[in-house]
Amino acid sequence: MTPRMWLTAFLGISRRETLRFVNQRGRFLAALVRPLVWLFIFAAGFRAVLGLSITPPYQTYVLYEVYVTPGLCAMIQLFNGMQSSLSMVYDRETGAMRTLLVSPFPRWFLLASKLVAGVIVSIIQVYTFLAIAWFWDVRPPVAGYLTLLPALVLSGLMLGAMGLFISSAIKQLENFAGVMNFVIFPMFFASTALYPLWRMRESSTLLHDICAVNPFSHAVELIRFALYQRFDLLSFLVVSGCLILFFAGAVIMYDPAKGLWARRKGGT
């Protein structure tokens, strides 16, 4: 296998993911409507009742819409990761997954290519959302849109890898409702996406501690700081560490020699 062949395989997988995304316009709209509903309705309502003190990276008081926007960017990536995971399970059920797995390229490379392709799609969604949010007076510094990109790549990879890992453990599409209820919603709500940590501490120390260790909180903070041209080392380390853990877990689970699901009859 030459480097050119590896690149061809990566581009082929990315192209397929993009084509599927383009063909499923409803998916794109749904991915946009979800955060916009939060921004237009939820944030507008909370603006009146929720006061926010000055917390880094903000240097002044900010509107709740401004505070919640990085969390909504992360939410787009979280749901995109789950959507990718869902499509992996669907591909496995329909048999399309086999086409990918019988490729002569190593599994880690195939999974990484699929992961990166999904992240590209999620970044397009986030920037579209931010463009709409601009008209809603969410206007971070222009340079922030550039410094945001690497943070989106890293957080997208981490959340996508988590989706891959979850998909390896799920056998049927029907089990996805459980994932939404027991993984996605708690992960989103018990994070700094909607409220700052100090607010959490005021209501419950336990909830504060859960939010503080939640990897999704760190993805949110990485995005929040990057959007204001700041770098949050702790968030960077936690997100990077979780990315390595989730991706390694997914590679192990999809490895025919070590994977758990591959040993189950009909698991593919």
Return the number of the residue (139 or 263) whose C-beta is nearest other proteins.
263
Give residues 10-39 in contact with other proteins (rule: CB under 8 A). Answer: 11-13, 15-16, 19-20, 23-24
Q: Is 172 in the site for other proteins (CB under 8 A)?
A: no
Return the number of the residue (16 or 208) whose C-beta is nearest other proteins.
16
Give residues 197-256 in contact with other proteins (rule: CB under 8 A). Answer: 255-256
Return the number of the residue (11 or 30) whose C-beta is nearest other proteins.
11
Give residues 54-83 in contact with other proteins (rule: CB under 8 A). Answer: none
Return the number of the residue (103 or 229) whose C-beta is nearest other proteins.
103
Q: Is 149 in the site for other proteins (CB under 8 A)?
A: no
Q: Is 260 in the site for other proteins (CB under 8 A)?
A: no
- With vertex at residue 129, the alpha carbon angle to CA 112 and CA 166, rounded to the nearest 5 degrees, is 35
Least gap, CB of 265 to other proteins (angstroms):
4
Binding residue count for other proteins, defined by CB under 8 A: 37
Q: Is 8 in the site for other proteins (CB under 8 A)?
A: yes
Q: Is 95 in the site for other proteins (CB under 8 A)?
A: yes
Residue ranges in contact with other proteins by CB under 8 A: 1-2, 4-6, 8-9, 11-13, 15-16, 19-20, 23-24, 94-96, 98-106, 110, 255-257, 262-265, 268
